[in-house]
Structure 1
């Protein structure tokens, strides 16, 4: 981008669509949108923030980041018995998430996001995100809501094990103490809410349960599905044994839910 900052908008649009958008269409379409959305973001945001990107580039050692990712993937393989598989994209984007992924197991790190201001902040989430990649190969379910909450909650649970409880459960869930305590207080109500939406056929409902900006009501925190999924896994392990969490990689979400009661 530095090379084209003084080019005309038309010139750089053509060049960057051919060199950045098209070769990584899966990433940009899934995260940002079509070519028009891409060029609009480039010209209205990215080039205006290019100095910030350059400054950040000096603070994040990409070789060290890749090495840490590789080592964490090997450690997750040893811990879970399953090797993470999938592509990782590390880039400067629209800052909509710090780390995230797609249903096929592809993962992304948006270095422009404010949470990715330190090396430690980025690698802290690696076990969580790598578990998403492993779980993406598990038996599938047509129930989008159950699949999404279990995917998120299971990633939190395995990260907690990976770090040997170094971080609190509320930290793994991404909640404040107040938010976590409200989940505990209204646990029954939350699961009743979950069952009300359990059979929803829409992807939006599934996304609402994982959305950090969406609340079902003022009593519950956003991203409520993280808590629900974590509790399903926790209850499954309580019912089936300490190491039984490893079974979840081989089971359908429906069986996990049924066996957690």
Structure 2
């Protein structure tokens, strides 16, 4: 009986010592997709921080790890959260971008958006993000001849608060929940937005950088650079079949927007309206497709830069980084070109 008791006890102890296999994390396929992506990609003084990686890895243990969010998402991008995101969406919504608010929507990020996140991460099936971002940053500097300085954050934002752009060089943001994050658009969109970051120092120094002329050339330059970088046709760079509408109304577009070139957002709402930056006034150019109506200065800026290069030499467009914007417009000959149109 004693031996039987010892055998039974040994069996129980042995049974207890065999650990049960831990259940597979239900998000393991998502986690595996991002775990080898670099936290940050640096080229010179330009940085892209892949915050989305650690937003997902915060769920790898099966429990939400708020410290990963604090140390790997919030702290490396504190400036963007505190000085941009927490302000542009208003005081009440700004709390979403403070640490407690960030914990709140990240806690259920995968639970609430699993299918959409999987869809957005399919981009990684065909694109090596590390290589793509490095390639973009290097090409940007090689083509423009400008070194550039700034920081991007790529992340999954809270529901209904998507942004693709930013506030300044230290708070440029790409929200992967946005409609432009897909295999077809990522090259074009990211090249466009990176150029904004590179051109921003010139805009800050120029007296007309924050006026109608500045935003027109800013958007036009982003389109122009992207067309060179990706070797796009005119239709690909602009609006496909709708591009011909813009050319047919080019004189009207310039003549109605030029009076606002040297006005601020408060004084010159119409041009900011047609740059997609102010919705508080009615359009001055009507009967256009909605997307085109909101981005007329993209076309106008592109055409000014195009005419500058035609008049002053193939690579002369790079002068835009070093000469006053008003001089750039005058030396483009664009006003004279418009005057020659019937």
Query: Normalization by structure 2: what TM-score?
Result: 0.61
For the Cα contact (< 8 Å) 2:215–2:275, is it kept in 1?
yes
Provide the rounded CA distance (Å) in 1 between the counterparts of 2:221 and 2:245.
20
Provide the rounded CA distance (Å) in 2 between the counterparts of 1:116 and 1:96.
15
Render the CA deviation track for 1:70-91: whole Å, top value 9, x for unaligned.
2211122111111232110111
Q: What residue number does 1:238 align with?
A: 310
Q: Which of 47, 55, 76 is residue 118 of structure 2 equivalent to?
A: 55
Render the CA deviation track for 1:24-48: whole Å, top value 9, x for unaligned.
32342355344644439966xx858
Does residue 32 of structure 1 match 2:89? yes
Q: What residue number does 2:224 align with?
A: 157
Question: Which structure has the higher relative contact order (CA within 8 Å, separation 6+)?
Answer: 1
Farther off after superposition, 212-221 or 78-87: 212-221
Provide the rounded CA distance (Å) in 2 between the counterparts of 1:236 and 1:105.
30
In structure 1, list runs of 5 or more residues that go unmatched.
none
Q: Secondary structure at the match of 1:87?
A: strand
Q: What residue number does 2:169 align with?
A: 104
Structure exhibiting the larger radius of gyration computed from Cα positions: 2
Provide the rounded CA distance (Å) in 1 between the counterparts of 2:144 and 2:173.
22
Q: What residue number does 2:340 align with?
A: none
- Assess, with a 3 A threshold, how the Cα gap between structure 1 residues 32 and 102 changes in structure 2: closer, same or farther: same
Q: Spell out the pairing of 1:138-149 with structure 2 (5 A cutoff).
A: 138=202, 139-142=205-208, 144-149=211-216
- Deviation at 1:230? 0.6
Q: What residue number does 1:64 align with?
A: 128
Provide the rounded CA distance (Å) in 2 between the counterparts of 1:110 and 1:168.
27
Provide the rounded CA distance (Å) in 2 between the counterparts of 1:35 and 1:65.
34
Q: CA RMSD in A?
A: 3.4
Farther off after superposition, 46-55 or 87-96: 46-55
Q: Secondary structure at the match of 1:135?
A: helix
Q: Which of 166, 169, 183 is residue 234 of structure 2 equivalent to?
A: 169
- Assess, with a 3 A threshold, how the Cα gap between structure 1 residues 163 and 198 changes in structure 2: closer, same or farther: same
Q: What residue number does 2:262 align with?
A: 199
- Deviation at 1:20? 4.1
Q: Which of 224, 229, 232 is residue 296 of structure 2 equivalent to?
A: 224
Does residue 84 of structure 1 match 2:128? no
- Deviation at 1:65? 1.7
What number of residue pairs does the alignment pair up? 244
- Assess, with a 3 A threshold, how the Cα gap between structure 1 residues 192 and 51 changes in structure 2: closer, same or farther: same
Q: Spell out the pairing of 1:95-134 with structure 2 (5 A cutoff).
A: 99-104=164-169, 106-118=171-183, 120-134=184-198
Render the CA deviation track for 1:198-253: whole Å, top value 9, x for unaligned.
23222572532321896433234321110110111111112211110111111121
In structure 2, list runs of 5 or more residues that go unmatched.
1-54, 334-342
Q: Spell out the pairing of 1:208-219 with structure 2 (5 A cutoff).
A: 208-211=273-276, 215-219=283-287
Structure holding more helix per residue: 1
- Deviation at 1:153? 0.3
Render the CA deviation track for 1:118-154: whole Å, top value 9, x for unaligned.
3x42233232222212211224233511100100001
